[in-house]
């Protein structure tokens, strides 16, 4: 399945907070055999959230939105999702029961987190106050990493799992030295993905990590073995 991830928050755009949520979800989805088509960061502006949500829904089976579900004025994700999907906001009694079971706070605070798009399926948040929810093909999660993982863990299995294999090679050669070789393999094996990630070792020397992946584990292993042999004779 194809996925898009939208991370919401001005703090992400300003660099005060690093978007680890998207990376964590993308890796999990990839390891489950899915394809992440987009990762987008949007600030706390309703019109921009609506615009991006409608845009990525056109290229994705599922859209995952994270952030903006708290109780402060800048937490506007619920309203934006409802607007994008053309749904009214209503007090969700399932969400209310979940929140009141664990928290004793003012009703106006509770009301902030239980007003959800009409028809939303509520997903319990066992770590924080704001529950997640699903409406149509949009999954909405809290932005606090521990809360996001708790809620996402309850929904990820419904997406299923497809075969996915990955093999890794590390070479001391520079990326420019192996470009022609990689181009050859990409042309010969279009069904296999070969990612090249250059960097330096702890001793200061150059290295390139090659990540070979695909849905056919035998073919992935075959490509890795052949590529290793040709790297040895370069």
Domains defined for the chain, CATH in brackets: 2-159 (3.40.980.10), 165-232 (3.30.70)
Question: Does the structure show a pLDDT above 90 at 203?
Answer: no
* Band of residue 233 on the pLDDT scale cut at 50, 70, 90: low
Q: Are 185 and 227 in contact (CB under 8 A)?
A: yes
- Average pLDDT value for the chain: 93
Distance separating alpha carbons of residues 55 and 33, to the nearest angstrom: 23
User: For helices 77-85 and 46-57, what crossing angle results, to 10°?
Assistant: 50
For 165-202, what is each residue's pLDDT tens digit? 999 999 988 899 999 999 999 999 999 999 999 988 77
* Band of residue 124 on the pLDDT scale cut at 50, 70, 90: very high
Question: Does the structure show a pLDDT above 80 at 150?
Answer: yes
Mean pLDDT confidence for 203-217: 90
Question: Does the structure show a pLDDT above 90 at 104?
Answer: no
Q: What pLDDT score was predicted for residue 127?
A: 93
Report residue 194 as tokens.
């070969």
Mean pLDDT confidence for 209-231: 94
Q: What pLDDT score was predicted for residue 232?
A: 84
Reported pTM: 0.89
């Amino acid at each position: 399945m194809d996925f898009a991830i939208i991370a919401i928050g001005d703090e992400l755009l300003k660099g005060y907070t690093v978007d680890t949520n998207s990376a964590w979800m993308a890796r999990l989805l990839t390891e489950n055999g899915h394809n992440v088509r987009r990762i987008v960061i949007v600030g706390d502006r309703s019109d921009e959230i609506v615009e991006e949500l409608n845009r990525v829904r056109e290229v994705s089976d599922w859209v995952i939105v994270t952030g903006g579900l708290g109780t402060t004025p800048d937490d506007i994700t619920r309203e934006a999702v409802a607007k994008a999907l053309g749904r009214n906001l209503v007090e969700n009694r399932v969400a209310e029961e979940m929140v009141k079971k664990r928290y004793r706070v003012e009703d106006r605070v509770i009301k902030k987190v239980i007003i959800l798009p009409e028809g939303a399926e509520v997903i319990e948040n066992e770590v924080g106050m704001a529950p997640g929810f699903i409406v149509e093909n949009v999954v909405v999660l809290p932005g606090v990493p521990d809360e996001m993982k708790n809620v996402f863990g309850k929904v990820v299995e419904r997406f299923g799992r497809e075969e996915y294999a990955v093999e890794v090679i590390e070479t001391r050669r520079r990326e420019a030295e192996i470009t022609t070789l990689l181009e050859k393999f990409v042309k010969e094996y279009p069904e296999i993905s070969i990612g090249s990630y250059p960097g330096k070792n702890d001793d200061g020397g150059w290295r390139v990590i090659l990540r070979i992946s695909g849905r056919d584990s035998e073919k992935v292993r075959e490509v890795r073995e052949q590529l290793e042999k040709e790297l040895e004779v370069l």
